[in-house]
Structure 1
Amino acid sequence: MPVTSWQSLHDGWFLTAVAGPEIPDPVAAARVPATVPGCVHTDLLAADLIPDPYLDDNELRLSWIGHTDWCYETTFGWAGDDGADRVELVCAGLDTVATITLNDVEIGRTANMHRGYRFDVRELLRVGDNVLRIRFDSAHRYAQEQRERLGDRPAAYSDPFNFIRKMACNFGWDWGPSLVTAGIWQEIGLRTWRTARLADVRPLVTVTGREGRVEVRVEVDRADGDSGAEPLTVRATVAGVAAEMVLPPGQRVAELTLAVADPDLWWPRGYGEQPRYPLDVTLHAGERELDRWQRRIGFRSVRLDTAPDEYGSAFTIVVNDLPIFARGVNWIPDDCFPHRVTRERYAQRLGQACEANVNFLRIWGGGRYESEDFYDLADELGLLVGQDFLFSCAAYPEEEPFLGEVRAEATEQVTRLASHPSLVLWFGNNENIWGWHDWGWQEQLAGRTWGAGYYFELLPGIVADVDPTRPYWPGSPWSGRHDVHPNESGYGSMHIWTVWNQLDYVHYRDYLPRFVAEFGYQGPAAYATIRRAISDERLVVDSPAMAHRQKAEGGGEKLARGLAAHLPAPRDFDDWHYLTQVNQARATSLGIEHMRSYRPICMGSVVWQLNDCWPVTSWAAVDGDGRRKPLWYALRRAYADRLLTVQPRDDGLALVAVNDGGDPWTGRVDVTRLTLTGEPRAKTSIELAVPPYSSMTWPLPADVGSSDEPRAELLLADPGDAGDRTFWFFAEDHELAYPPAGYDATVEPLPDGVRVRVTARTVLRDLVLAPDRLDPAAVVDEALVTLLPGESTTFTVRSAQRLDPAALTARPVLRCVNDMVPDTAAHR
């Protein structure tokens, strides 16, 4: 066994407030039991000293926490080092401005949430009890002091989040609360070792032809320093192949190469399997094993195709020499308090991504470098990941101490994540190059640094040196050229926010991008999530409580503008809630289908966003309580391997079939122009023959693709059993001559819920069943179903409660758009 040992220091902690401007008396007098890993907010919450910051407007009354200095303290036993050469205090994550003392001796200071630290404490430990204290100074105060010292820099928000190496969204975002945390947020403990240890292990995996290569770079720490007199041996094994290297006295770096013949390749989900091979690296002194490192790796190649072409230049992720269309979503921290996101919660959230046919996640630059659990699950599930370096929506200073901190942080994180096949792309920042060009920064900066040195020099240099197997892109958006605007649609990655901020969502069709790394449309959280978060007796659209759930500037007005362009005017909260969720789903689906219809010119559609960190009205498909909004069901259809979509083209409507599967898509599609009552008016049939990983377009005949009665007709494209059908309506819902919604519904009990069968007597547009209104734990398998007269659909609801059949089959639980038509209440 290795002659290293680990003593966890997660127990016995207490938290006290040290100094601050508005500390409540009960907190000032308290010695609060603390959980490690954890943070101040959750410790105070567990002690019942603060209200839940996610409920009502409690967030506003808790800002004092981020302006307060805090001290964590524990007493732990130490039995002695048993002849060890080193005993190190290892801090995987301290949030953020910390002073560490052991037995009243200061051993170090930190100011970076995004890196780990270790301190040699062997001479300070004593047999018996030892006292460890970590004081956290106010992140607000530290950042403000740095801003005053270095000169202000423009940012999306007023708080100085760009003057501290900390999760930027802790300071509030247009979807998140301002909850500035402090605490020991990752593992902490004592590492005891003799002679030497493995300091860093970085496996670089490449595939050429039928051979996989693993280049393992190992850095060791020697107890007797760089001039250590003892030779060491490093050994590595993978897939039955072994290599070793002897480090002579004084040498600290070993590089070993393992060549594996014909390995099973790791593929993105939907393209193949995800085999992984255990890689073992051990360190020896003679016959003694000193240390061991183990990971599972995947053999795959990845490159970024940015070749110039007639449209500009490509932006295509290529895995194992196969171009991949990124059916993507953006990922933000799943909780404002990241220690609460367990492996089980990651598995649920990434599972929801997979079930929605997502194959790519972009980790946004205002959060964190995601955890080992996140990346291990992504490896297992075949999800591709693009990781932002942590810079977002602001100009960042490049002076010290930030330059050194960024260098150390980036080197550590690139090394840490090198073993994960899911990681396929590094982005230098989120929107900062765009901001420098378009948001008035140049005048405000007056020559001060803003981050360019990071994005164009430091970070690409670190990636090239530490992990050259993965592509790096200076920012998102970024065109790839300094002489082309950073958000130019024909080049590189782009973000489309003019639609949400200024235009109707049909204007997504104005863009022909190469890769869209952000676009999206807002909608409220699930009803049960809102009801849990707001204690008002009655929910009201424009109440202060609902306004607190809308963090985007002008968000309420933008939602109203979007509804007015397409849907009937809501009469009450229930109407508003349903219609805004439907509009979110439609807007995002329209954007995705447009992007996918132009494959291979466009090779990425990355929706903002998959998840939320708290209960809020936002762009997310899964809300802050983990409930799936109608948008999630829309993503599942729009991101299906086989997509059938009707698209406007220069000469009229066209049918587009997109095949992201590995087999040809064949079959017949019947495209029929119908009245709203289901009577056929014109029809054409198209024989599909779509090769793998491609799209094909068929212009529709004029008699099918146009209507003299747009208020009374629609198009249906039906591939039978060969895929999902799709509709096209010739007019907006508020213009259509809808009949009052008529249907029959039956409820059949199941062992773990009910089955609801709905049979349409009239057209039913975007039928949604929301069982969480009756049981907050209930889930349903489908949403946004459109039926023609005489057609039926079945919803399967999972619930441990007995659900009232009458409530389950009527408004507001069961809704469709045309139940807004008068007299709909008499649908039965």
Structure 2
Amino acid sequence: MGGRARLDGGAFLLPQPHCEGSWYLDIDYLDTVAVVFINDVPVLSADNCFRRYRPDVSTALQPGENRIRILFHSSIAAGADRQARQPFYIPYSTNNSPIANGNMLRKPQCHFGWDWNIAVAPLGLYGTIALKKLDPARIEHLETEQVHHDDGSVDLHVRLTLYAFEPSVVPVHFEFDGVRERLDCGIPAGETVIAHVFHIDRPRLWWPAGSGEQALYTLSADIPGETLTRRIGLRTIALITDPDEAGSRFAFKVNGREIFCRGANWIPADALFSRTSLEKTEDLLQSAVAAHMNMIRVWGGGFYEQDYFYDLCDRLGLMVWQDFMFACNLYPCTEDFLANVAQEVDYQVRRLSSHPSIALWCGDNELVGALTWFKESRDNRDRYLVAYDRLNRVIEQGVRKAYPQALWWPSSPASGYLDYGDAWHADGSGDMHYWSVWHENKSFANYRTIKPRFCSEFGFQSYTSMPVIETFADRGDMNIASPVIELHQKNAGGNERIAGTMFRYFRFPKDFANFVYLSQIQQGLAIGTAVDYWRSLKPHCMGTLYWQLNDTWPVASWSSLDYGGSWKALHYMARRFFQPVNVVAIPSEDGTSIAFSMVNDTLEELTIDMNLFAVTLDGERLPIRTATGTCPPDRAAELLSIDETEIPVDALLAWSFIASNGMSGEGHLALQPYKALELQPSGLETSVAPLADGRFEITVSATGLALFVMLEADCPGRLSDNAFDLHAGISRRIIFTPTTPLAEGDVPQFRIYDLQSSQQLG
């Protein structure tokens, strides 16, 4: 509370001398249809969770005790009422949203349910509410623009927007990188923009993770009673969409260098906003960076995240593809709705545009595709297309007005500007969402039939891990067809698809825990198949963002991180297939040969040495050949191609490599479904030893072939590696770090899985 007001629950005291003057409330993240009263006087009628409200409340205040009350209206009732008042029906995705008409409200669309989220339509005040005095002015926005970035220096243009109750003289201080400037500004009532330019010679540039330093400078602006601070990263960014022989490119260029984007899609960190936190968000984003990601797509059915989310992305080097919050539905185009959206866009763009991590502003998620999903829009496409275009233009114009430098993309997926065609299956231009493997039940190899320029969504489900399942299911529920397990699957037919795919590739698992384990292994194989192939197409393809990074609650989903942040098998595998330098195996379309591609996302020319061998079903290695190749900077190149006849029958093809920059890796390729292999017992053994720093060393060894070895602890924590292979006579040292230090003398217990021991025998 500003001034001398003292808050006690919904009541506060305002002594007589301080009651005069101009007072306002400062409110954000108010969800969603609500009226705010002071002393039973309505001071705000709100209906947009994504706006900041600053209503003048001066006339509602009184000396002594005052009381604030917020009346929340039912989102469900409000949605139905607004739908009834539309000039024509506006469809929404009933598959995703069992609660109707969420598309009528400017609130997270996943609150009405999704195929990974519970449907609870929550409401409340998630952000801040503060009573402040305008004495004499307040800061509305602090924005920056980087100019003349091409001569070894940069001009940082700073714009400070002030709002004053009456004309006054305000001392303004700007400080950047230790340089402090004072301006005494005479300002009128209302809004005033104060501009200043800082010239920086030889700037330290901000780079995405893995490409350079995440250099950040401190910028602050202060007026009497208020200071606003930003961390500024100096960098250039461009979106390359030049035409070429395949269609047109889609590549991000940062500081003059094209960057291959490796990453995942972000959904809200929890189904309930009050259960999110900086610490939880930081853990999830650090896990993304640990898996060699450099981009996060903030999906359009959740929130514009809190400031700390983007601060973390700045610090960690995660570029942000930022959707506007429209997803998988159609939306109104009435004047009141569009005016509300325009204010939302202006606020969010001005709030976030100075973050160096913000790479792209995207109009929506899948709204063009949604035009084909509903009978109403199929029967009258022109009406709904015009409605969509009006909304999309309001968003675009708002972006260009608020931040002319912004990179704008109309929708995801989209083949290009004002292109309303099918970007789901056309892979020549723009960004692509490719869901045929999951939703159409196609094989993993189907990923190799398309050549996207940038795949911003693709995914495959698995079950959440056993320690998470044990938090909501009893022993008698441990069956994929039990009501409890089915309740934690929100995608129609999802459990059947997991099972059907498993039986395509694997033998029947011997129990529920192994069913969960195999579901995660096949998820990793699916996503890895896509990423390996698409990275081998570089620079034709310049980005892969899988669906999805995180979960909002314990649920079967496409995530690589469990609810709570633990790593599923996919995340451990992603750390390998997203490594900046990798060697990938690509079978030929006719099944007669296998090509090995070197993938290099660094600025160095690299020499790569590879050992290629067959592995028998009892774990013996049989050398095939060695190879050495040179891979140009920021490119993929073929290292070697072999004929499948070089691989013995009933053996796996395996390889290991090391690059001249020290990066190394390994992998294997099964030439037939794993279920066709007569795997022999792997003889897995483990030993656990405590380390002095509270971690634990696990030694895992095998006497035979152990594929996809997974360790699972009985307490939360992270393993240095997982979902790896062991051959006969090989051991591996793994470090386990508990999330919370264990009591002295306590040693975690580990369950161990591998492919052979997961099978139903007899």
Classify the TM-score, shorter chain. over 0.9
**Which residue matches 2:161?**
219
Give me the whole-angstrom Cα distance separating, in 1, the residues matched to 2:690 and 2:194.
64
Q: Which one of 61, 64, 85 corresponds to residue 128 of structure 1? A: 64
Aligned to 1:420: 355
Q: Deviations over 1:527-552 (max 9, x none)?
A: 11111122454512210000001000
Tell me the SS of whatever aligns to 1:546.
helix
Deviation at 1:448, TM superposition (A): 4.3
Q: Secondary structure at the match of 2:534?
A: helix
1:137-190 deviations in Å (ceiling 9; x for gaps): 100000011111113222222521111011111110000000111111110011
* Cα distance in 2, alignment partners of residues 6 and 173 from structure 1: 44
Amino acid at match of 1:85: G
What is residue 666 of structure 2 aligned with on the other side? Answer: 725
CA distance in 2 between counterparts of 1:798 and 1:715 reads: 30
1:340-379 alignment runs, 5 A limit: 340-379=275-314
1:197 aligns with 2:159: no
Q: Does 1:768 align with 2:710?
A: yes
Separation of aligned partners in 2, 1:352 and 1:80: 53
Alignment of 1:666-745 (within 5 A): 666-679=607-620, 683-702=624-643, 705-706=644-645, 709-719=648-658, 722-745=663-686
CA distance in 2 between counterparts of 1:745 and 1:473 reads 51
Opposite residue 212 of structure 1, the aligned amino acid is: V
Which stretch shows the higher mean deviation, 530-539 or 510-519?
530-539
Q: CA deviation at 1:118?
A: 1.3
Establish whether residue 270 from structure 1 lines up as the match of residue 210 from structure 2.
yes
Q: How far did 1:459 drift?
A: 1.5
- Secondary structure, in 3 states, of the residue corresponding to 1:443? helix
1:439-588 map, 5 Å = 442-443=377-378, 448-449=383-384, 452-454=388-390, 456-481=392-417, 482=419, 484-487=421-424, 488-502=426-440, 503-535=442-474, 537-588=476-527
Preserved CA contact (<8 Å) 1:513 1:595: yes
Are positions 1:236 and 2:206 aligned together?
Answer: no
**Larger mean Cα displacement after TM superposition, 626-635 or 244-253:** 244-253
Aligned to 2:228: 293
Normalised by the length of structure 2, the TM-score is 0.92
SS in 1 for 2:157: strand
AA matched with 1:215: H
Structure 2: distance between partners of 1:177 and 1:784: 30
Question: Structure 1's 83 and 560: CA in aligned 2 closer, same or farther, altered over 3 A?
Answer: closer
Q: Deviations over 1:420-476 (max 9, x none)?
A: 111111110000012225665523556544652355411121111111222010110
- Could you say if the C-alpha distance between residues 314 and 156 of structure 1 is closer, same or farther in structure 2, counting changes exceeding 3 Å? same
Is the CA contact (8 Å cut-off) linking 1:5 and 1:193 kept in structure 2?
no
Shift of 1:578: 1.0
Q: Sequence identity of aligned pairs in percent?
A: 30
State the Cα distance separating 1:325 from its structure 2 match: 0.7
Stretch deviating more after TM superposition (97-106 or 795-804):
795-804
In structure 1, what is the Cα distance between the partners aligned to 2:360 and 2:241? 13
1:399 equivalent to 2:337? Answer no
CA RMSD of aligned residues (A): 2.5
CA contact (8 A) 2:333 2:391 kept: no
Could you tell me which runs of 5 or more consecutive residues in structure 2 were left unpaired when the two chains were aligned. none
Structure 1 partner of 2:559: 620
Please, which runs of 5 or more residues in structure 1 have no aligned partner? 14-73, 284-288
After TM superposition, give the deviation of residue 504 of structure 1 in Å. 1.8
- 357, 365, 372: which is aligned to 1:430? 365
Do the aligned partners of residues 589 and 440 (structure 1) sit closer, same or farther apart at CA in structure 2, a change above 3 Å counting?
Answer: farther
Give the conservation status (yes or no) of the 8 Å contact 1:671–1:683: yes
Deviations 1:550-583 (A, max 9, x none): 0001101110121011111123212211111111
**How many residue pairs end up in the alignment?**
741
1:580 partner letter: S
Letter in 2 for 1:562: T
Q: Pick the aligned partner of 2:534 from 569, 581, 595.
A: 595
Q: Would the alpha carbon gap of residues 439 and 149 (structure 1) be closer, same or farther in structure 2, given more than 3 Å must change?
A: closer
CA distance in 2, matches of 1:8, 1:742: 70
| Structure 1 pair 290–822 and aligned structure 2 pair: CA distance change class (3 A) | closer
CA distance in 2, matches of 1:193, 1:94: 22
- Which SS does the other structure have where 1:345 is aligned? helix
Does the C-alpha gap of structure 1 residues 104 and 402 become closer, same or farther in structure 2, counting only changes over 3 Å?
same
Partner Cα distance (1:330, 1:690) in 2: 30
| 1:659 and 2:600 matched | yes
Task: Find the counterpart in structure 2 of residue 169 from structure 1.
Answer: 110
- Indicate if the aligned counterparts of 1:244 and 1:256 stay in contact, CA closer than 8 A: no
Secondary structure of the residue aligned to 1:695 is strand
SS at match of 1:375: helix
> Helix, strand or coil: the match of 1:517?
strand
Aligned to 1:318: 253
- Which amino acid in structure 1 is aligned with residue 430 of structure 2? G
CA drift of 1:638 comes to: 0.9
1:307 corresponds, among 242, 246, 271, to 242
